[in-house]
């Protein structure tokens, strides 16, 4: 694992936000997730089935697609899968299992391949994130993001800037940049998904549930693991409320 420059995420606004275009319902939703523990509660909630023929992605990649129909929406959940080389060791040096393909490289590749294959109307990147105890003013000097004011009002969600880097820990150099950009949460995939969604002009939203603080005294990894299961349940509830909200919502296409 290494630390990279944090990047502040901007979701792609719809092509024709001015409102002159055709209107059609959102039909295909692509949910991109990096950890199995984050993915499974949603697979269960939406009663999704695993794509076993695996023809969607090139042979040999670990990416897993689950799909199904929920409230007339075609829901596709793509999990980046387990890395084929990296493994986790127990305290006693035994190999435990493959580790989830976390981070920006897998997230960008899976986003690209899934958008090409599925042509989604909307991407939801869902996952856990680190939060800050210190809560600076946010929303200043930001890039334009995909705006969802009604959804946020309805579901009572907090809006903030997300910073992405390939490390769970936060180096002092990263901290300076994160705070200078007024980011309030930190993850390991959001900016990569936003980058690809932007390139391919697909609107994307980012739903992050906080497992740990990154600027406190506690060990980030310990706090993350302690809260992971409970936070993933909350994450699944929120994502399903968001999907309930968008079922039947119209998008404007230019």
- Nearer residue to ligand ADE within complex by CB, 181 or 212: 212
Q: Read off φ and ψ for residue 251, nearest 5 degrees.
A: -110, 160
Choose, by CB under 6 A, the member of 38, 100, 187, 198 that binds ligand ADE: 187
- Nearer residue to ligand ADE within complex by CB, 67 or 186: 186
Q: Does 188 bind ligand ADE (CB under 6 A)?
A: yes
Min separation Cβ 101 and ligand ADE, Å = 14
- Nearer residue to ligand ADE within complex by CB, 100 or 187: 187
Which residue do the tokens 């105890």 mark?
133
Q: Which two tokens stand for residue 205?
A: 């939203």
Min separation Cβ 124 and ligand ADE, Å = 17
Q: Does 186 bind ligand ADE (CB under 6 A)?
A: yes
Classified as helix, coil or strand, 67 is strand
Q: Does 211 bind ligand ADE (CB under 6 A)?
A: yes
Q: Does 38 bind ligand ADE (CB under 6 A)?
A: no
Q: Which two tokens stand for residue 204?
A: 């994307």
**Alpha carbons 147 and 209: distance in angstroms, whole number:** 19
**Alpha carbons 162 and 190: distance in angstroms, whole number:** 7
Strands 204-213 and 183-187: unpaired
Say if residues 189 and 173 touch (Cβ distance below 8 Å).
Answer: no
Span interacting with ligand ADE, options 115-123, 132-140, 196-204, 206-214, rule CB under 6 A: 206-214
Choose, by CB under 6 A, the member of 220, 232, 235, 236 that binds ligand ADE: 220
Q: Does 168 bind ligand ADE (CB under 6 A)?
A: yes
Min separation Cβ 252 and ligand ADE, Å = 33
Q: Which two tokens stand for residue 13?
A: 């606004």
Choose, by CB under 6 A, the member of 130, 160, 190, 203 that binds ligand ADE: 130
Q: Which two tokens stand for residue 145?
A: 């993001």
Determine the distance from the C-alpha atom of residue 107 to the mean position of all C-alpha atoms in its chain, rounded to a whole number: 9
What is the C-alpha end-to-end distance of the chain, expressed in Å? 41
Span interacting with ligand ADE, options 18-26, 137-145, 149-157, 182-190, rule CB under 6 A: 182-190
- Nearer residue to ligand ADE within complex by CB, 129 or 202: 129
> Which residue minimizes CB distance to ligand ADE?
130
**Alpha carbons 40 and 35: distance in angstroms, whole number:** 9
For residue 71, give the nearest of 252, 246, 229 by alpha carbon.
246
Interface positions with ligand ADE (CB under 6 A): 128-130, 168, 186-188, 211-212, 214, 220, 224
């Amino acid at each position: 694992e290494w630390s990279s420059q944090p990047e502040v995420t901007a979701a792609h606004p719809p092509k024709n936000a001015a409102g002159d275009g055709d209107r059609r319902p959102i039909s295909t939703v692509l949910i991109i997730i990096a950890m199995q523990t984050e993915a499974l509660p949603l697979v269960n909630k939406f009663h999704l089935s695993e794509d076993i023929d695996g023809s969607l992605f090139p042979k040999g990649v670990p990416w897993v697609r689950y799909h199904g129909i929920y409230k007339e929406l075609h829901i596709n959940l793509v999990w980046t899968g387990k890395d084929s080389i990296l493994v986790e060791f127990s305290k006693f040096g035994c190999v435990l299992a493959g580790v989830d393909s976390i981070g920006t490289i897998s997230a960008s590749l899976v986003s690209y391949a899934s958008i090409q294959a599925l042509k989604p109307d909307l991407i939801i990147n869902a996952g856990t994130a680190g939060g800050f105890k210190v809560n600076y003013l946010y929303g200043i000097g930001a890039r334009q993001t995909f705006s969802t004011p009604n959804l946020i009002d309805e579901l009572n969600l907090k809006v903030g800037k997300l910073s992405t880097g390939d490390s769970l820990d936060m180096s002092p150099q990263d901290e300076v940049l994160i705070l200078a950009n007024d980011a309030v949460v930190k993850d390991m995939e959001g900016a990569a998904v936003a980058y690809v969604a932007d390139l391919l002009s697909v609107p994307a939203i980012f739903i992050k549930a906080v497992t740990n603080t990154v600027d406190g005294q506690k060990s980030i990894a310990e706090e993350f693991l302690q809260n992971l299961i409970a936070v993933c349940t909350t994450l699944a509830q929120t994502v399903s409320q968001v999907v309930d909200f968008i079922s039947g919502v119209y998008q404007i296409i230019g």
